[in-house]
Amino acid sequence: MATTVKELKATARPKSGKGAARAERRAGRVPGVIYGNNQPPLPISVDDRELRARILAGRFLTTLVDVELDGKKHRVIPRDYHLDPVKDFPIHVDFMRLGEGATIRISVPLHVVKAEGSPGVKRGGAVNIVAHSIELECGVENIPQYIEADVGSLEIGHSLHLADIKLPAGVKALTAEDATLVTIVPPSGYAEEQKAAAAAAAPGAAAAPAAGAAPAAGAAAPAAGAKAPAAAAKAPAGGDKKK
C-alpha cells in the first residue's frame, strides 16, 4: 500500500513576479516552486493539462513525484496548489524537496471497507464517517495511499476508533488514539422500536397474579369478625330449644 512515484516534467522559470506568472499561464503552463531540504527555492513551471489530470486523479498531495528539470530529477511531494476562484483551474503549485531518509507529516484519506457485511448496516443502520483523513508521520518512502477502516463487525450504535486501526510498519498516527473514525447510526424510528420491544419483553407486565399468590401490598384484608355472623346463624336460637 506504499505510495508509487510518479514522474513530471518541468521547465525552469528564470523570471518571477505576477507578470511572468501570467505569461506562463497564457502559454499553457502553471508556475510553481520546489523548496525545502536546506536548498534555495527553485522556480519552475509544469504543463497545465498534465497538472490538472494529476489533481483530478486523486491523492495528489500524498503521491511522491520525481520532477525532471534540465535532465535532473528532484524527488518531491506536492504540498499545496491554488485554483482560480472562478474558472477552477490550477494557477500555482508548491513541491517540497525530499532528502534521502526524510520523515514528513501528512494527511492520508480514510477508506471504509466491509460496510456491506456490518450487522448494524444489515439491520438498517448507516455508516457515518466522522474522520475522512488521518494525520500521520512516516518516512517519505513509506507513505500509505490510504488507511483502511474495517467496519465489518460493527453493530448499530457502535464506533471504530483510531486505536482499532492497524497502521503500516514505520507509520505513526498524530491523531489521538481514542479519536472516533466511523460510527453506525440507527435508522429512523429505531429508538421507538427498541422501547416497544423492551416493554413487550417485560416479564408479567400485564399478566394476572398466579393462583395462591399473596395479595398485593396495600390490598384490603378481610374485616375482623366477618365470619362470626355466618357461624352464629347456623346455631339454633336458645329460646327455640326450650319450646
Residue 229 domain flag? no
| Tens digits of residue pLDDT in 90-122 | 999 999 999 888 899 999 999 999 999 999 999
| Tens digits of residue pLDDT in 18-66 | 888 899 999 999 999 999 998 999 999 999 999 999 999 988 998 999 9
User: Do 95 and 4 share a structural domain?
Assistant: yes
| CATH number for the domain that contains residue 87 | 2.40.240.10
* Residues 34, 44 contacting (CB under 8 angstroms): yes
Which of 66, 99, 132 is the last residue before a domain boundary? 99
Whether the predicted pLDDT of 192 surpasses 90? no
Residue 226 domain flag? no
Grid cell for residue 197? 420491544
CA-closest candidate to residue 104, choices 61, 146, 148, 73: 61
Average pLDDT over residues 111-135: 95
User: Do 107 and 87 share a structural domain?
Assistant: no
Domain that includes residue 137, residue range = 100-197
Residue 145 domain flag? yes
